Structure 1
Amino acid sequence: MARHAAGFEGLGASLMAVGCGSVQMAQSFQRELDVQIPLYTDPSRRSYALLGFKRKVLIFGPKIFNRGRRAWSAGFRQGPVAGDAWQQGGELVAVPGDQLLYVRPSNGPGDHAPVDALKEVLVSFNQGTPQ
């Protein structure tokens, strides 16, 4: 996602990421993977619960292995797991005034919202179009 940061900035938005490990884990992750966007952490996972992001233990299956194979082919290498390995994330678009325009929980590893869908939400917001 970070490689798309400039495209989001062009729409007046900033990318950030939230993990569930310790502050030290987040700092290590940011340093080792050269993450250039702000990275926050919520070890309590309260924000995950509020957003409806699930904790799933039984996530392995053909879809997960296919996503892993595609990620591997694209050059992504999984580092050591930090934080709660079973906590699923997701994507959201928030705007000033504590308004959430878009919330999409992930269904498992490698399940991400299309970047274009996130950008469309921002374009619509910038044009004053209702969501």
Structure 2
Amino acid sequence: MERISRKAAEARVLDLDGREHPLRSLWASRAAVLLFVRHFGCREQAVRLYREKGTIRALGAELVIIGNTVPCFARAFREDLAITTPIYVDPSMASYRLLDIRRLREALLSGGALKHKLSALCGGFRRVQTRLDRSQLGGVLVVRQDGAVVYRHLSEGADDHPAIEEILAALAPRTSDEAQASL
């Protein structure tokens, strides 16, 4: 089973007050669903996952959102969306690099990205000005307390989000036969 590397686990993220925390602290007390957002103007996936916060907690995990900007933009994100789940920032983007979260190489307005942008706008998600690196993509990792990664989705484009059901399935308790089969 894949594990978070020691170097990635020690990468520093900032809470909304600017205090540093090692990435490993985000899953130290319980499993974590780590949502690495492209930026805090990209809200659709965060809102969709946040709606499942109760289910995620019932399955023994915490939803944690991480973005690549500074705390003031993350605070605005939290206030605008009334999100109460933990939010951290990584202005250096070290955690993104160490976890191999991809960067967008091609133009942002490719067909898929444009379609996604229109879909998000029609869904009521407006573009918000942020200080960001627009070429950074996002991803979702489900990490157990021991640092084992039981689910990983690294976005391949701005419009590439995993199905919520896949994330929740990764959190579901497994029988001993299922656990053996996954080894």
TM-score greater than 0.5 by the shorter chain: yes
Shift of 1:83: 2.3
Gaps of 5+ in 1: none
CA contact 2:112–2:159 (8 Å) conserved in 1: no
**Are residues 1:17 and 2:103 paired?**
no
Q: Name the aligned partner's letter for residue 3 of structure 1.
A: R
CA contact 1:51–1:103 (8 Å) conserved in 2: no
- Which string of whole-angstrom CA distances, capped at 9 and with x for unpartnered residues, describes residues 73-105 of structure 1? 211112113321211111110010111111111
| Residue from 152, 156, 160 that aligns with 1:103 | 152
What's the counterpart of residue 117 of structure 1? 166
Give the number of the structure with larger relative contact order, counting CA–CA contacts within 8 Å between residues 6 or more apart: 2
| Residue from 136, 146, 153 that aligns with 1:87 | 136
What's the counterpart of residue 77 of structure 2? 29
- SS, match of residue 16 in structure 1: strand
CA contact 2:140–2:153 (8 Å) conserved in 1: yes
Normalising by structure 2, report the TM-score.
0.65
- SS, match of residue 71 in structure 1: helix
Where has structure 1 moved over 4 Å in runs of 4 or more? none
Q: Distance in 2 between matches of 1:104 and 1:29?
A: 23
- Which string of whole-angstrom CA distances, capped at 9 and with x for unpartnered residues, describes residues 7-30 of structure 1? 212211111100010122222222
**Are residues 1:51 and 2:110 paired?**
no
**Are residues 1:40 and 2:107 paired?**
no
Q: Distance in 2 between matches of 1:35 and 1:44?
A: 24
**CA RMSD in angstroms, aligned pairs only:** 1.5
Q: Distance in 2 between matches of 1:31 and 1:86?
A: 25
Normalising by structure 1, report the TM-score.
0.88
**Which stretch of structure 1 is more off in the superposition, 42-51 or 30-39?**
30-39
